[in-house]
Structure 1
Amino acid sequence: MESKSTVIWQGSIKEGEGKITTESGTLNNSKLSYGTRFEHTPGTNPEELIAAAHAGCFSMALTDQLSEAGLTPETIETTASLTLNTESNEFEITKAHLNVTAKIPGASLQAFEKAANTAKENCPVSKVLNADITMDARLES
């Protein structure tokens, strides 16, 4: 399986901008620029896209782990955040944090925590990140 995205960039790093398009069409010429990455101007940035991928990948991996335990979630809400170290000229993503809240009928806290930790360690996006990955996981009744 292969997934693709394309960026067309024009201009310098600070004055230029790019347009990002995904194969699925979810993103279609979405704005990407120095401002969208470092100055909170409207548009997207690589870290936001990685965080979205991480939240989606983790949620699906958690659902799979729960299914293997005979459990079906009513809801799973995952927010992923990334920390980009910009203190040197060698920028790097140093941390990723997953904030998860799930409602799973019939699940014990122990079963939920086991499934969440396994999903955190084994979802493909977690595996590709060279960062410290932490998680807060809450089971709602």
Structure 2
Amino acid sequence: MIRKATAVWRGAGRDGDGDLTTGSGVLSKTPYSFRTRFETEPGTNPEELIAAAHAGCFTMALAFQLQAAGLAADELTTEAAVTLEAEGQGFKISKSALTLTAKIPGIDQAKFDELSKAAETGCPVSKVLNAEVTLSATLI
């Protein structure tokens, strides 16, 4: 399976701008720029997209872990907070912190912890990140 996205950039780094388009069309010429990345201008940025990918990947991985254990969630809500920090003359993504709130009938805390950790380490996005990945999971 191969998924594709295209980035188009016009102009210099700080003053330029661009747009992102995904193969599915969910993003279609979605604006991104220095201002959407480092300031508050509307649009997206690579770190936000990585956070969305990580939250979605982890949450789906947990749903499959639950299914394999004969369980199903009423609801799984995951936030991924991606940290971008200075490194030398550039930047690096140093961390992705996953925060999960889960409502799962019939599960005990030990099984919840086991399946959540398996999903966090088994998620393909966790595996591709060259960053610290943390998980804070709450069962409600």
1:61-80 counterparts in 2 under 5 A? 61-80=61-80
Deviation string 1:98-124 (CA, Å, 9 cap, x unpaired) is: 000000010111111100001101100
**In 2, Cα distance between the equivalents of 1:24 and 1:116?**
29
Q: Which residue of 1 aligns with 2:104?
A: 104
Match of 1:56 in 2: 56
Q: Output aligned runs, 1:22-101, within 5 Å.
A: 22-86=22-86, 88-101=88-101
TM-score (norm 2): 0.97
Instruction: Give me the TM-score of the superposition, normalised by structure 1.
Output: 0.97
Displaced runs of 4+ in structure 1, greater than 2 A?
Answer: none
Extract unaligned runs of 5+ from structure 1. none
Bigger shift: 82-91 or 103-112?
A: 82-91
Q: How many residues align?
A: 140
Partner of 2:130: 130
**AA at the equivalent of 2:28:** N
Partner of 1:17: 17
The alignment partner of 2:32 has SS state of: strand
CA RMSD in angstroms comes to 0.8
